[in-house]
Amino acid sequence: MDNNNLEQITFGGGCFWCVESCFNMLKGVHSAISGYSGGHKDNPTYEEVCTGETGHAEVVQITFDPTIISYAQLMDVFFFLHDPTQLNRQGNDIGTQYRSVIYYKDDAEKVKAEEALKTSEASGKWPGTYVTEVSQFEKFWPAEQYHQGYYNVNPNQPYCSAVVGPKIQKFKKHFGELGMLNEA
């Protein structure tokens, strides 16, 4: 992968453990890092973000090579991995930190994000009205080290085995059939 061509995108789709794990399996993704964005507190901790008082969302910042995987393909994965019709929650994870959000860095990226959102909503994959925010990117704070690759290290942790694991299997089946996954 040519590091000179790399771009970044940051978005939140619920708990970052699942989202990060899936994006790290995709061809063309250099890295997917769990972290926090969209809030008012510098260097927030996981415990602080979980209170909902920092304004941050759990997000994943993805560094990718657009010559291998496109922005539109990343958006397809994003909308596959979470329910964008649930306001401030994903399943039993409830709070503003679990909101559906796409952070854009410039006007061109904002337009691409809005187009991807409209395309996904029009597809009917998720019945209902999308509540995904499209917001100006300001700052990304990496989550604590123990959150990085969390599912890979803790697949038998109860939340991981009950929620994250089944979602990852569904993801692998779908995107594996499309030939979008790295060789394991």
Q: Would you name the residues annotated as active-site residues?
A: 15
Look at the block and give the residue holding tokens 């510098």. Answer: 42
C-alpha separations of 43 from 40, 56, 71, 98, 153 in Å: 10, 11, 28, 18, 24
Q: In this structure, what token pair is assigned to residue 159?
A: 């939340």
Q: In this structure, what token pair is assigned to residue 29?
A: 């993704």
- Closest Cα partner for 121 from 140, 100, 147? 100
Cα–Cα distance measured from residue 37 to residue 8, given in angstroms and rounded to the nearest whole number: 14
Cα–Cα distance measured from residue 32 to residue 23, given in angstroms and rounded to the nearest whole number: 6
Angle (CA) 149 154 158, round 5°: 130
Cα–Cα distance measured from residue 115 to residue 91, given in angstroms and rounded to the nearest whole number: 26
C-alpha separations of 89 from 5, 79, 140, 155, 168 in Å: 34, 14, 21, 22, 19
